[in-house]
Amino acid sequence: MNHFVATVALIGIVIVVASLMSGVVERFGVPLVAAFLLVGAALGPFGLGIYDVGLHSPELQVLATLALALVLFTDAVGVDVREVRERKRIALTVLGPGTALPAIVIGAAAWWLLQLPVAAAAIIGAAIASTDPVLLRRVLRSDALSPTARVALRLESGMNDVALLPVVVIATLVLARGGAVPSDELGRHLTGLFLLGPVLGAVIGWAGILMLTTIRDRIGVRRDYESLYALGLGLGAYAAAESVGGSGFLAAFAAGLAIAWLDVELCDCFLEYGEATAEMLLLLTFVAFGASLIWTGFSVIDLPTVAFAIVALFARTVVLFPVLRHAGVTGRDRRLIALFGPRGLSSLLLVLLPVFAGVRDAERLFAVTSFVVLLSLVVHGAIIGVFLRGSGSTTASGAGADGGRDPGPVVAPKMELAEFRARAARGDEVVLVDSRAPKSFKADARMAVGAVIVPPDDPVRAAREARLSRTATLAVYCA
């Protein structure tokens, strides 16, 4: 009972502290994850002794599993398919050689310097090659980042996990079976990993959005429940795939990608609520790690481990410089993309999979990865901080919570009353829209003649119900 109360208190602390610190983080460029590691240390056995989580505890397994599944789902939903098509050469570069080559280099360094078996080296190489989306979110919101660099970093941080996950899963299976996996068992796992999981996830994502849009158009769906619906689809896809022997993580990603591919009009809260929930789980996981687990990285420090950590931190940068030039990316964009490669929670979540599978010596893999992550927080956190301060802005006013689909601030052109009348006189299709909130109507119910009411809390649905033309020019006023 005391442990349950401590867990509930921890969740409350994470939500409150994250909310109160959000402005400080955005203004001064402080890495939020670093702050929560310190919160975990303060609450852990080396601090107040209120909370601690063991590496093999069920709580950590549930928390890490939910966090990784929701991160994969929300990152996939946030993919702009049209943007990927327009810049498919960059997408193929960062998700192909830009992801595989650093994983191979890091894995080879682990095999040589740390004397790890090939399968264990593959796990740690794939885990550390994962680019952390949490640390990059502030960069992706910066209006100083060019569209090319934004697309490359957004795709890499949001999608390279799904390219590295199969390596971790297969290598974990090899280690768990002592290096010899029967062909029939390997075939079942490969089928579940590459076929059952993705197909089932894509079907659930497609069917889920089809049901949502059908019911919303005919009956209506409350906006707050539409936001919860996103979490239901992601977690439902994970559970469905796991129940039939597929990969729940790939299913969650495929469900999100199917939603992005359908490109339907969804309430902004659909994605924002899912992102906010996933971020809270990530921060809660960082607090759990910060209590004691991540500090085990200092227990493995020796000369080979330090040498390996240096290779792990800079392998991506060294590899991406020639790879990006081949893709036609040069100058400042090339430097920024190559430099911004933080290793963080996604690496820790991936390397936890062999721990949960009971793989021998998996604790060492976690400790080494923790050491690399701690160094990355210092090195890449400093690089990100210098960039944000040098750009003079930490946030683009038009971007979403994770860099969103909007690459920068959007400023709507102003229309004077004379111009509106002139357009109407010419016969142009112009619609006057009153976008005041309901409480403003209570204070003053007067409105312009011929105006259509479109409340700001759910404008897409209101515009659809009012049957506004998709080709008309909307002249919006709110006072």
| Highest mean pLDDT, choosing among 133-137, 374-378, 424-428 | 374-378
pLDDT at 396: 37
Sheet of 430-434: strands edge to edge? Answer: 452-453, 430-434, 473-477
**pLDDT of 2 over the 70 cut:** no
Tokens of 39: 């919160």
Amino acid at 189: H
**pLDDT of 312 over the 50 cut:** yes
Closest CA to 253 of 123, 164, 356: 164
Least confident of 79-93, 127-141, 218-232, 234-248: 218-232
The confidence band for 28, taking pLDDT boundaries of 50, 70 and 90, is low
Least confident of 39-48, 133-142, 200-209, 428-437: 133-142
Least confident of 124-133, 172-181, 401-410: 401-410
Residue-wise pLDDT for 124-135, tens only, equals 999 999 998 777
Residue, of 439 and 313, whose pLDDT is higher: 313
What value does the mean pLDDT take over residues 1-22?
Answer: 68
CA Rg value for the chain: 24
Q: Name residue 453's beta-bridge partners.
A: 434
**pLDDT of 276 over the 80 cut:** no
Residue, of 380 and 283, whose pLDDT is higher: 380
| Highest mean pLDDT, choosing among 37-41, 47-51, 108-112 | 108-112
Tell me the residue ranges of DSSP E strands in 336-468: 430-434, 452-453
pLDDT at 315: 94
Amino acid at 221: V
**pLDDT of 189 over the 70 cut:** yes
pLDDT at 429: 85
Please give the full DSSP string across 456-474, using - where no structure is assigned.
TTSHHHHHHHTT--SSSEE
What value does the mean pLDDT take over residues 235-244?
Answer: 90
For residue 396, report the phi and psi dihedrals to the nearest 5 degrees. Answer: -90, 125
The confidence band for 297, taking pLDDT boundaries of 50, 70 and 90, is very high
For residue 452, report the phi and psi dihedrals to the nearest 5 degrees. Answer: -110, 135
The confidence band for 39, taking pLDDT boundaries of 50, 70 and 90, is confident
* 340, 278 contact by CB (below 8 A): no
Cβ within 8 Å of residue 134, ≥6 positions away: 32, 33, 279, 282, 344, 345, 346
The confidence band for 141, taking pLDDT boundaries of 50, 70 and 90, is confident
Q: How far apart are CA 340 and CA 283, in angstroms?
A: 21
The confidence band for 457, taking pLDDT boundaries of 50, 70 and 90, is low
| Highest mean pLDDT, choosing among 42-56, 348-362, 380-394, 423-437 | 348-362
Q: Within a 13 Å sphere around the CA of 43, how many CA atoms are in the beta-carbon half?
A: 25
pLDDT at 6: 63
**pLDDT of 393 over the 60 cut:** no
By percentage, how much of the chain surpasses pLDDT 70? 85
Residue-wise pLDDT for 144-154, tens only, equals 788 888 888 88
Q: How far apart are CA 147 and CA 144, in angstroms?
A: 10
* 244, 200 contact by CB (below 8 A): yes
Q: How far apart are CA 410 and CA 396, in angstroms?
A: 9
- H or E element that contains 477: strand 473-477
For residue 392, report the phi and psi dihedrals to the nearest 5 degrees. Answer: 75, 5
Residue 220 buriedness (CB in 10 A; 0-12 / 13-18 / 19+): exposed
Distances (CA, A) of 436 to 91, 304, 420, 421, 448: 41, 63, 19, 22, 12
Quickly count: other Cβ atoms within 10 Å of residue 466's Cβ. 12
Cβ within 8 Å of residue 242, ≥6 positions away: 248, 251
For the chain, the average pLDDT equals: 81
* Dihedral sign for Cα atoms in the order 24, 29, 30, 31: positive
pLDDT at 443: 64
Distances (CA, A) of 82 to 14, 263, 324, 405: 36, 9, 21, 10
